[in-house]
Amino acid sequence: MAIHPIDYRYGSEEMRRIFEEEARLQRFLDVEAALARAHAAVGSISKAEAGEITRKASTEYVKLSRVKEIEAAIKHDLMAVVEALAEACGGAGRHVHLGATSYDIVDTANALQFKAALRIIKRDLYEVEGVLLTLAEKHKGLVAVGRTHGQHATPITYGLKFALWAREVRRHLRRLEEAEKRVLVGKMSGAVGTQASFGDKGMDIQEMVMRDLGLKAVMVSSQVVQRDRYAELLMLLALIAASCDKIAKEIRNLMRTEIGEVSEPFGKEQVGSSTMPHKRNPIESEKVCGLARAVKSNVFVAMENVSLEHERDLTNSSCERVIITESFILLDEILKTLKTVLKGLVLYPKRIKENLELTKGLNMAEAAMLALVAEGMPRQEAHRLIRKLSAEAYTKKKELSAVLKDNKEISKLLDKETIEEILSPEKYIGTAVKQVEKVLRVAREERK
Protein backbone atom coordinates (compact mmCIF):
# COMPACT_ATOMS: atom_id res chain seq x y z
CA MET A 1 0.00 0.00 0.00
CA ALA A 2 1.38 3.42 -0.99
CA ILE A 3 2.10 5.78 1.90
CA HIS A 4 4.43 8.54 0.73
CA PRO A 5 2.92 10.87 -1.92
CA ILE A 6 5.90 10.28 -4.20
CA ASP A 7 4.59 6.72 -4.55
CA TYR A 8 1.37 7.82 -6.19
CA ARG A 9 1.32 11.60 -6.72
CA TYR A 10 4.68 13.19 -7.43
CA GLY A 11 7.48 12.49 -9.87
CA SER A 12 7.51 10.90 -13.30
CA GLU A 13 7.54 7.15 -13.80
CA GLU A 14 10.97 7.55 -15.36
CA MET A 15 12.42 9.18 -12.25
CA ARG A 16 10.61 6.92 -9.79
CA ARG A 17 11.94 3.82 -11.55
CA ILE A 18 15.49 4.89 -10.71
CA PHE A 19 14.72 4.77 -7.00
CA GLU A 20 12.53 1.66 -6.87
CA GLU A 21 13.75 -1.17 -4.63
CA GLU A 22 14.40 -3.54 -7.48
CA ALA A 23 16.31 -0.91 -9.46
CA ARG A 24 18.46 -0.18 -6.41
CA LEU A 25 19.09 -3.90 -5.94
CA GLN A 26 20.20 -4.15 -9.57
CA ARG A 27 22.71 -1.36 -9.03
CA PHE A 28 24.16 -3.17 -6.02
CA LEU A 29 24.51 -6.23 -8.22
CA ASP A 30 26.10 -4.19 -11.00
CA VAL A 31 28.78 -3.01 -8.59
CA GLU A 32 29.37 -6.52 -7.23
CA ALA A 33 29.78 -7.79 -10.80
CA ALA A 34 32.23 -5.03 -11.68
CA LEU A 35 34.23 -5.87 -8.54
CA ALA A 36 34.39 -9.53 -9.57
CA ARG A 37 35.62 -8.57 -13.04
CA ALA A 38 38.32 -6.36 -11.52
CA HIS A 39 39.46 -9.22 -9.27
CA ALA A 40 39.70 -11.45 -12.33
CA ALA A 41 41.73 -8.80 -14.16
CA VAL A 42 44.33 -8.67 -11.37
CA GLY A 43 44.34 -12.44 -10.95
CA SER A 44 42.57 -12.70 -7.58
CA ILE A 45 39.85 -14.96 -9.00
CA SER A 46 39.39 -16.82 -12.24
CA LYS A 47 37.76 -15.25 -15.27
CA ALA A 48 35.22 -18.07 -15.27
CA GLU A 49 34.20 -17.24 -11.70
CA ALA A 50 33.95 -13.57 -12.54
CA GLY A 51 31.86 -14.46 -15.56
CA GLU A 52 29.47 -16.53 -13.46
CA ILE A 53 29.11 -13.74 -10.87
CA THR A 54 28.49 -11.25 -13.67
CA ARG A 55 25.86 -13.49 -15.27
CA LYS A 56 24.01 -14.06 -12.01
CA ALA A 57 24.28 -10.44 -10.84
CA SER A 58 20.79 -9.72 -12.07
CA THR A 59 17.37 -9.45 -10.48
CA GLU A 60 16.45 -12.27 -12.81
CA TYR A 61 18.43 -14.56 -10.50
CA VAL A 62 18.70 -12.53 -7.29
CA LYS A 63 15.11 -11.89 -6.29
CA LEU A 64 14.14 -8.95 -4.10
CA SER A 65 11.89 -11.28 -2.09
CA ARG A 66 14.87 -13.53 -1.28
CA VAL A 67 17.00 -10.56 -0.25
CA LYS A 68 14.26 -9.38 2.09
CA GLU A 69 13.92 -12.85 3.55
CA ILE A 70 17.63 -12.98 4.35
CA GLU A 71 17.64 -9.43 5.71
CA ALA A 72 14.80 -10.27 8.10
CA ALA A 73 17.04 -12.93 9.61
CA ILE A 74 20.45 -11.21 9.64
CA LYS A 75 19.38 -7.55 10.02
CA HIS A 76 21.84 -6.24 7.40
CA ASP A 77 20.48 -5.11 4.05
CA LEU A 78 23.66 -5.14 1.99
CA MET A 79 24.90 -8.44 3.42
CA ALA A 80 21.52 -9.88 2.47
CA VAL A 81 22.26 -8.89 -1.14
CA VAL A 82 25.70 -10.51 -0.90
CA GLU A 83 24.30 -13.76 0.46
CA ALA A 84 21.52 -13.90 -2.11
CA LEU A 85 23.99 -13.34 -4.96
CA ALA A 86 26.40 -15.91 -3.53
CA GLU A 87 23.56 -18.44 -3.39
CA ALA A 88 22.74 -17.83 -7.03
CA CYS A 89 26.38 -18.18 -8.11
CA GLY A 90 27.06 -21.66 -6.72
CA GLY A 91 30.79 -22.32 -6.35
CA ALA A 92 31.73 -18.88 -7.65
CA GLY A 93 29.71 -17.37 -4.82
CA ARG A 94 32.69 -17.75 -2.48
CA HIS A 95 34.28 -14.77 -4.22
CA VAL A 96 31.26 -12.43 -4.15
CA HIS A 97 32.02 -9.15 -2.32
CA LEU A 98 35.68 -10.12 -2.00
CA GLY A 99 37.58 -7.44 -0.03
CA ALA A 100 34.68 -4.99 -0.06
CA THR A 101 32.85 -3.28 2.76
CA SER A 102 29.15 -2.52 2.51
CA TYR A 103 29.57 1.11 1.57
CA ASP A 104 31.98 0.29 -1.23
CA ILE A 105 28.87 -1.14 -2.84
CA VAL A 106 26.30 1.32 -1.47
CA ASP A 107 28.14 4.53 -2.31
CA THR A 108 29.17 3.33 -5.75
CA ALA A 109 25.57 2.28 -6.43
CA ASN A 110 24.45 5.69 -5.19
CA ALA A 111 26.66 7.33 -7.80
CA LEU A 112 25.02 5.21 -10.49
CA GLN A 113 21.62 6.40 -9.26
CA PHE A 114 22.79 10.00 -9.22
CA LYS A 115 24.07 9.69 -12.77
CA ALA A 116 20.74 8.40 -14.07
CA ALA A 117 18.67 10.90 -12.09
CA LEU A 118 20.82 13.89 -13.00
CA ARG A 119 20.44 13.00 -16.66
CA ILE A 120 16.69 13.58 -16.28
CA ILE A 121 17.12 16.75 -14.24
CA LYS A 122 19.50 18.21 -16.84
CA ARG A 123 17.13 17.34 -19.68
CA ASP A 124 14.20 19.02 -17.91
CA LEU A 125 16.27 22.10 -17.09
CA TYR A 126 17.33 22.33 -20.73
CA GLU A 127 13.68 22.18 -21.80
CA VAL A 128 12.63 24.81 -19.25
CA GLU A 129 15.40 27.05 -20.55
CA GLY A 130 14.12 26.57 -24.09
CA VAL A 131 10.58 27.57 -23.15
CA LEU A 132 11.86 30.67 -21.34
CA LEU A 133 13.95 31.69 -24.35
CA THR A 134 10.92 31.33 -26.61
CA LEU A 135 8.90 33.54 -24.27
CA ALA A 136 11.75 36.06 -24.07
CA GLU A 137 11.93 36.36 -27.84
CA LYS A 138 8.17 36.57 -28.27
CA HIS A 139 7.71 39.26 -25.61
CA LYS A 140 11.01 41.12 -25.77
CA GLY A 141 9.24 44.38 -26.58
CA LEU A 142 6.17 43.96 -24.35
CA VAL A 143 6.48 46.87 -21.93
CA ALA A 144 5.15 46.40 -18.40
CA VAL A 145 5.51 48.15 -15.10
CA GLY A 146 8.46 47.01 -13.03
CA ARG A 147 7.89 46.41 -9.34
CA THR A 148 10.26 46.85 -6.41
CA HIS A 149 9.17 46.39 -2.79
CA GLY A 150 5.78 45.45 -4.21
CA GLN A 151 5.35 48.99 -5.56
CA HIS A 152 5.31 50.28 -9.11
CA ALA A 153 8.76 51.20 -10.36
CA THR A 154 10.09 52.15 -13.78
CA PRO A 155 9.08 50.11 -16.88
CA ILE A 156 10.48 46.73 -17.76
CA THR A 157 9.73 44.32 -20.58
CA TYR A 158 8.36 40.85 -20.14
CA GLY A 159 11.09 39.65 -22.46
CA LEU A 160 13.72 40.85 -19.98
CA LYS A 161 11.95 39.04 -17.15
CA PHE A 162 11.94 35.76 -19.09
CA ALA A 163 15.55 36.24 -20.23
CA LEU A 164 16.61 36.79 -16.62
CA TRP A 165 15.07 33.45 -15.62
CA ALA A 166 16.59 31.68 -18.63
CA ARG A 167 20.10 32.71 -17.59
CA GLU A 168 19.48 31.44 -14.07
CA VAL A 169 18.52 28.06 -15.51
CA ARG A 170 21.67 28.06 -17.64
CA ARG A 171 23.78 28.67 -14.53
CA HIS A 172 22.19 25.61 -12.94
CA LEU A 173 23.09 23.51 -15.97
CA ARG A 174 26.69 24.65 -15.62
CA ARG A 175 26.66 23.96 -11.90
CA LEU A 176 25.42 20.42 -12.54
CA GLU A 177 28.17 19.77 -15.07
CA GLU A 178 30.76 21.01 -12.60
CA ALA A 179 29.28 19.16 -9.61
CA GLU A 180 29.16 15.85 -11.48
CA LYS A 181 32.96 15.73 -11.33
CA ARG A 182 32.73 15.59 -7.54
CA VAL A 183 29.45 13.70 -7.13
CA LEU A 184 29.60 10.88 -9.67
CA VAL A 185 32.32 9.01 -7.81
CA GLY A 186 32.63 5.57 -6.30
CA LYS A 187 35.14 3.73 -4.18
CA MET A 188 36.60 0.35 -3.24
CA SER A 189 38.50 1.22 -0.09
CA GLY A 190 37.49 -1.36 2.49
CA ALA A 191 36.57 -0.98 6.15
CA VAL A 192 38.39 2.26 7.01
CA GLY A 193 39.74 3.46 3.68
CA THR A 194 43.14 1.74 3.65
CA GLN A 195 42.25 -0.87 0.99
CA ALA A 196 44.04 -3.43 3.19
CA SER A 197 41.44 -6.06 2.27
CA PHE A 198 42.50 -5.81 -1.39
CA GLY A 199 46.21 -6.24 -0.66
CA ASP A 200 48.56 -4.34 -2.93
CA LYS A 201 45.98 -4.35 -5.75
CA GLY A 202 43.53 -2.00 -4.03
CA MET A 203 44.13 1.10 -6.10
CA ASP A 204 44.10 -0.90 -9.33
CA ILE A 205 40.86 -2.67 -8.40
CA GLN A 206 39.19 0.61 -7.47
CA GLU A 207 40.17 2.24 -10.76
CA MET A 208 39.03 -0.79 -12.77
CA VAL A 209 35.64 -0.99 -11.06
CA MET A 210 34.90 2.68 -11.57
CA ARG A 211 36.06 2.72 -15.17
CA ASP A 212 33.90 -0.34 -15.79
CA LEU A 213 30.84 1.46 -14.33
CA GLY A 214 31.50 4.82 -15.99
CA LEU A 215 32.32 6.63 -12.76
CA LYS A 216 35.31 8.43 -11.32
CA ALA A 217 37.22 6.85 -8.45
CA VAL A 218 37.72 8.88 -5.30
CA MET A 219 41.32 9.78 -4.61
CA VAL A 220 40.92 8.88 -0.94
CA SER A 221 38.06 7.98 1.37
CA SER A 222 37.19 6.52 4.74
CA GLN A 223 34.62 3.72 4.96
CA VAL A 224 32.31 6.05 3.03
CA VAL A 225 32.51 8.56 0.23
CA GLN A 226 32.79 11.83 2.10
CA ARG A 227 29.43 13.47 2.58
CA ASP A 228 30.48 16.96 1.57
CA ARG A 229 29.92 15.58 -1.93
CA TYR A 230 26.36 14.56 -1.10
CA ALA A 231 25.71 17.85 0.66
CA GLU A 232 26.82 19.70 -2.48
CA LEU A 233 24.44 17.61 -4.56
CA LEU A 234 21.48 18.16 -2.23
CA MET A 235 22.26 21.89 -2.03
CA LEU A 236 22.35 22.11 -5.81
CA LEU A 237 19.02 20.32 -6.13
CA ALA A 238 17.64 22.72 -3.53
CA LEU A 239 19.08 25.71 -5.38
CA ILE A 240 17.36 24.61 -8.58
CA ALA A 241 14.13 24.18 -6.61
CA ALA A 242 14.60 27.68 -5.17
CA SER A 243 14.84 29.17 -8.66
CA CYS A 244 11.70 27.32 -9.72
CA ASP A 245 10.04 28.62 -6.55
CA LYS A 246 11.05 32.16 -7.54
CA ILE A 247 9.58 31.84 -11.04
CA ALA A 248 6.37 30.22 -9.84
CA LYS A 249 5.95 32.81 -7.09
CA GLU A 250 6.23 35.62 -9.62
CA ILE A 251 3.61 33.96 -11.81
CA ARG A 252 1.33 33.56 -8.79
CA ASN A 253 1.70 37.22 -7.91
CA LEU A 254 1.12 38.38 -11.47
CA MET A 255 -2.04 36.22 -11.48
CA ARG A 256 -3.52 38.08 -8.51
CA THR A 257 -6.98 39.47 -9.31
CA GLU A 258 -5.73 43.01 -8.70
CA ILE A 259 -2.84 42.53 -11.15
CA GLY A 260 -4.10 39.97 -13.64
CA GLU A 261 -1.27 40.26 -16.16
CA VAL A 262 -0.69 36.53 -16.69
CA SER A 263 -2.39 33.22 -16.06
CA GLU A 264 -1.17 29.67 -15.86
CA PRO A 265 -3.10 27.28 -18.14
CA PHE A 266 -6.59 26.40 -16.91
CA GLY A 267 -8.51 23.47 -18.40
CA LYS A 268 -12.14 23.65 -19.54
CA GLU A 269 -13.20 21.11 -16.92
CA GLN A 270 -10.79 22.30 -14.23
CA VAL A 271 -12.22 23.16 -10.81
CA GLY A 272 -10.66 26.04 -8.92
CA SER A 273 -12.55 25.70 -5.64
CA SER A 274 -14.91 23.18 -4.08
CA THR A 275 -17.21 26.01 -2.98
CA MET A 276 -16.45 29.04 -5.17
CA PRO A 277 -17.24 28.10 -8.79
CA HIS A 278 -15.59 31.18 -10.26
CA LYS A 279 -12.07 30.52 -8.90
CA ARG A 280 -9.07 30.10 -11.21
CA ASN A 281 -6.40 29.37 -8.64
CA PRO A 282 -2.68 29.12 -9.54
CA ILE A 283 -2.51 25.58 -8.20
CA GLU A 284 0.36 24.38 -10.40
CA SER A 285 2.58 27.32 -9.47
CA GLU A 286 1.61 26.87 -5.84
CA LYS A 287 2.59 23.21 -6.04
CA VAL A 288 6.01 24.21 -7.33
CA CYS A 289 6.48 26.60 -4.42
CA GLY A 290 5.25 24.07 -1.87
CA LEU A 291 7.40 21.18 -3.05
CA ALA A 292 10.43 23.48 -3.24
CA ARG A 293 10.14 23.95 0.52
CA ALA A 294 10.48 20.21 1.05
CA VAL A 295 13.54 19.97 -1.23
CA LYS A 296 15.20 22.95 0.46
CA SER A 297 14.56 21.49 3.92
CA ASN A 298 16.54 18.34 3.06
CA VAL A 299 19.73 20.40 2.80
CA PHE A 300 19.90 20.69 6.59
CA VAL A 301 19.99 16.90 6.93
CA ALA A 302 22.64 16.57 4.22
CA MET A 303 24.81 19.12 6.00
CA GLU A 304 24.49 17.20 9.28
CA ASN A 305 25.70 14.07 7.50
CA VAL A 306 29.03 15.68 6.63
CA SER A 307 30.32 15.34 10.19
CA LEU A 308 30.25 11.57 10.67
CA GLU A 309 32.31 10.22 13.56
CA HIS A 310 35.84 8.91 13.04
CA GLU A 311 35.99 6.78 9.87
CA ARG A 312 32.16 6.72 9.80
CA ASP A 313 29.05 6.02 11.80
CA LEU A 314 25.61 4.96 10.63
CA THR A 315 23.66 8.18 11.26
CA ASN A 316 23.72 9.12 7.57
CA SER A 317 22.28 5.83 6.36
CA SER A 318 18.65 6.02 7.44
CA CYS A 319 18.09 9.69 6.60
CA GLU A 320 19.80 9.41 3.19
CA ARG A 321 17.25 6.80 2.21
CA VAL A 322 14.69 9.58 2.62
CA ILE A 323 16.35 12.82 1.54
CA ILE A 324 18.06 11.63 -1.65
CA THR A 325 14.98 9.95 -3.08
CA GLU A 326 12.70 12.79 -2.00
CA SER A 327 14.91 15.53 -3.39
CA PHE A 328 15.28 13.96 -6.82
CA ILE A 329 11.66 12.89 -7.23
CA LEU A 330 10.18 16.15 -5.92
CA LEU A 331 12.52 18.24 -8.07
CA ASP A 332 11.50 16.11 -11.04
CA GLU A 333 7.87 17.00 -10.29
CA ILE A 334 8.75 20.66 -9.81
CA LEU A 335 10.56 20.96 -13.14
CA LYS A 336 7.93 19.13 -15.14
CA THR A 337 5.15 21.19 -13.55
CA LEU A 338 6.96 24.47 -14.17
CA LYS A 339 7.59 23.48 -17.78
CA THR A 340 3.86 22.87 -18.26
CA VAL A 341 2.97 26.20 -16.66
CA LEU A 342 5.43 28.13 -18.81
CA LYS A 343 4.39 26.40 -22.04
CA GLY A 344 0.76 27.28 -21.41
CA LEU A 345 1.34 30.70 -19.86
CA VAL A 346 -1.19 33.29 -21.01
CA LEU A 347 -0.29 36.99 -21.06
CA TYR A 348 -2.87 39.78 -21.11
CA PRO A 349 -1.38 42.79 -22.95
CA LYS A 350 -4.42 45.00 -22.32
CA ARG A 351 -4.18 44.49 -18.56
CA ILE A 352 -0.42 44.91 -18.69
CA LYS A 353 -0.97 48.29 -20.37
CA GLU A 354 -3.60 49.31 -17.83
CA ASN A 355 -1.28 48.51 -14.95
CA LEU A 356 1.53 50.39 -16.64
CA GLU A 357 -0.66 53.50 -16.63
CA LEU A 358 -2.29 52.86 -13.26
CA THR A 359 -0.28 55.46 -11.32
CA LYS A 360 -0.97 58.20 -13.89
CA GLY A 361 2.66 58.52 -14.89
CA LEU A 362 4.21 58.45 -11.41
CA ASN A 363 6.33 55.46 -12.39
CA MET A 364 8.03 57.76 -14.92
CA ALA A 365 9.24 60.25 -12.29
CA GLU A 366 12.84 59.09 -12.69
CA ALA A 367 12.74 59.85 -16.41
CA ALA A 368 11.45 63.34 -15.67
CA MET A 369 14.19 63.93 -13.09
CA LEU A 370 16.94 62.85 -15.50
CA ALA A 371 15.51 65.05 -18.25
CA LEU A 372 15.83 68.06 -15.95
CA VAL A 373 19.42 67.09 -15.13
CA ALA A 374 20.16 66.87 -18.85
CA GLU A 375 18.90 70.45 -19.18
CA GLY A 376 21.31 71.67 -16.51
CA MET A 377 19.43 71.34 -13.21
CA PRO A 378 21.56 69.81 -10.40
CA ARG A 379 20.61 66.21 -9.76
CA GLN A 380 19.60 66.59 -6.10
CA GLU A 381 17.55 69.68 -6.88
CA ALA A 382 15.79 67.84 -9.69
CA HIS A 383 15.10 64.91 -7.36
CA ARG A 384 13.55 67.16 -4.71
CA LEU A 385 11.40 68.98 -7.25
CA ILE A 386 10.07 65.85 -8.95
CA ARG A 387 9.48 64.20 -5.57
CA LYS A 388 7.39 67.21 -4.49
CA LEU A 389 5.42 67.27 -7.73
CA SER A 390 4.89 63.49 -7.62
CA ALA A 391 3.42 63.84 -4.15
CA GLU A 392 1.11 66.55 -5.45
CA ALA A 393 -0.01 64.39 -8.39
CA TYR A 394 -0.65 61.46 -6.05
CA THR A 395 -2.62 63.54 -3.53
CA LYS A 396 -4.73 65.29 -6.16
CA LYS A 397 -5.07 62.11 -8.27
CA LYS A 398 -3.81 63.98 -11.32
CA GLU A 399 -1.63 62.86 -14.21
CA LEU A 400 2.03 63.57 -13.49
CA SER A 401 2.32 65.13 -16.93
CA ALA A 402 -0.33 67.72 -16.05
CA VAL A 403 1.40 68.68 -12.81
CA LEU A 404 4.76 69.00 -14.56
CA LYS A 405 3.32 71.16 -17.32
CA ASP A 406 1.83 73.55 -14.75
CA ASN A 407 5.12 74.00 -12.90
CA LYS A 408 7.01 77.18 -13.84
CA GLU A 409 10.48 75.82 -13.04
CA ILE A 410 9.97 72.86 -15.32
CA SER A 411 8.32 74.93 -18.06
CA LYS A 412 11.52 76.94 -18.37
CA LEU A 413 13.42 73.77 -19.29
CA LEU A 414 10.90 71.44 -20.91
CA ASP A 415 8.02 72.18 -23.28
CA LYS A 416 4.73 70.27 -23.18
CA GLU A 417 5.55 68.00 -26.11
CA THR A 418 8.89 67.05 -24.54
CA ILE A 419 7.20 66.26 -21.22
CA GLU A 420 4.76 63.91 -22.97
CA GLU A 421 7.62 62.18 -24.74
CA ILE A 422 9.67 61.85 -21.55
CA LEU A 423 6.75 60.25 -19.72
CA SER A 424 6.15 57.62 -22.39
CA PRO A 425 6.94 54.21 -20.81
CA GLU A 426 7.75 52.66 -24.17
CA LYS A 427 10.61 55.12 -24.58
CA TYR A 428 12.10 54.39 -21.17
CA ILE A 429 13.14 50.75 -21.35
CA GLY A 430 16.82 51.46 -21.93
CA THR A 431 18.67 48.51 -23.43
CA ALA A 432 16.06 45.93 -22.37
CA VAL A 433 15.43 44.69 -25.91
CA LYS A 434 19.15 44.60 -26.72
CA GLN A 435 19.83 42.65 -23.53
CA VAL A 436 17.21 40.07 -24.48
CA GLU A 437 18.66 39.78 -27.96
CA LYS A 438 22.12 39.23 -26.48
CA VAL A 439 20.77 36.51 -24.19
CA LEU A 440 19.09 34.82 -27.15
CA ARG A 441 22.24 35.04 -29.25
CA VAL A 442 24.46 33.58 -26.52
CA ALA A 443 21.92 30.91 -25.59
CA ARG A 444 21.67 29.68 -29.16
CA GLU A 445 25.42 29.04 -29.16
CA GLU A 446 25.30 27.33 -25.77
CA ARG A 447 22.45 25.05 -26.81
CA LYS A 448 24.08 23.78 -30.02
Say which CATH number the domain at 405 has.
1.10.40.30
Q: Which of 131, 82, 121, 126 is nearest to 104 (CA)?
A: 82
* Domain match, 115 and 233 both: yes
Active-site residue flag, 383: no
In a domain, 338, yes or no: yes
User: How high does pLDDT run on average in the chain?
Assistant: 95
Q: What confidence score (pLDDT) does residue 272 get?
A: 67
Section 431-448 average pLDDT: 96
* Domain match, 312 and 398 both: no
Section 15-23 average pLDDT: 96
Q: Which residue has the higher pLDDT, 299 or 279?
A: 299
Q: What confidence score (pLDDT) does residue 266 get?
A: 79
User: What are 347-358's pLDDT values in tens digits?
Assistant: 999 999 999 999
Which of 4-18, 89-103, 244-258, 381-395 bottoms out in mean pLDDT, i.e. has the lowest?
A: 4-18
CATH number, domain containing residue 210: 1.20.200.10
CATH number, domain containing residue 69: 1.10.275.10
In a domain, 129, yes or no: yes
* Domain match, 198 and 321 both: yes
Section 3-16 average pLDDT: 91
In a domain, 428, yes or no: no
* Domain match, 204 and 313 both: yes
Q: Which of these is catalytic: 273, 297, 307, 411?
A: 273
* Domain match, 112 and 15 both: no
* Domain match, 372 and 308 both: no
Helix axes 283-304, 228-254, angle to 10 degrees: 160
User: What are 233-278's pLDDT values in tens digits?
Assistant: 999 999 999 999 999 999 999 999 999 999 998 777 776 666 677 7
Number of Cβ atoms within 10 Å of the Cβ of 208: 21
In order, the DSSP letters of 163-222 are HHHHHHHHHHHHHHHHHHHHHSEE---TTTSS-GGGGGGHHHHHHHHHHHHT-EEPSS-S
Question: Of 35, 64, 95, which residue is a domain's last?
Answer: 95
Active-site residue flag, 44: no
* Domain match, 152 and 220 both: yes
Q: How many domains does the chain contain in total? A: 3
User: What are 111-144's pLDDT values in tens digits?
Assistant: 999 999 999 999 999 999 999 999 999 999 999 9
User: What are 160-192's pLDDT values in tens digits?
Assistant: 999 999 999 999 999 999 999 999 999 999 999
* Domain match, 257 and 390 both: no
In a domain, 445, yes or no: no
Q: Which of these is catalytic: 65, 149, 274, 310?
A: 149
Question: d(Cα 35, Cα 99) in Å, to the nearest integer?
Answer: 9
* Domain match, 374 and 311 both: no
Q: What confidence score (pLDDT) does residue 274 get?
A: 63
* Domain match, 83 and 228 both: no
Containing domain of residue 407, as a range? Answer: 362-422
Question: Of 323, 355, 387, which residue is a domain's last?
Answer: 355
* Domain match, 10 and 86 both: yes
In a domain, 447, yes or no: no
